Amino acid sequence: MPTVLLRHMEPKQSGVIVKVTATGELGRRIRDMGLVAGTPIQVEGRAPLRDPVAIRVRQFTLTLRNNEADYILVDVEATS
C-alpha cells in the first residue's frame, strides 16, 4: 500500500490513516474529528477547485481544507 497525503487522494479512493502530523490546536481539532491512526476513510469528492475535500469517516462525512489534509498520511488501498 502506498502512503500518501490525504490531499493527494482521488475521489472514491479508500485507505487507513497512518499518522496525523499536525500539532497544537490544529492537531487537537483534527483528532477531535475522529481522524486518528488506524481509522479507515474514503474520499467522497472534491469541490471544483479541489479544495475542500469531502471524506467519509465512521458513518459521517467531513470536509477538510487542503492545508488541513496536508497533515494526514494515509495508506491507500489498492484499486482493482
Q: What is the pLDDT of residue 70?
A: 95
User: pTM value?
Assistant: 0.89
Q: What is the pLDDT of residue 47?
A: 87
- Measuring CA to CA, which residue among 31, 41, 35, 38 is closest to residue 9? 41
Q: Which domain holds residue 12?
A: 3-76
Number of CB atoms found within 10 A of residue 2's CB:
10
CATH of the domain at 46: 2.30.30.90
Q: What is the pLDDT of residue 49?
A: 85
Paired sense of beta strands 72-76 and 53-57, if any? unpaired
Tally of structural domains, the chain: 1
Give the integer Cα–Cα distance in Å for 52 and 48.
Answer: 9
Give the integer Cα–Cα distance in Å for 18 and 21.
Answer: 10
Q: What is the pLDDT of residue 78?
A: 78
Q: Mean pLDDT, consecutive 10-residue segments, the chain of 80 residues?
A: 90 95 94 94 90 93 94 87
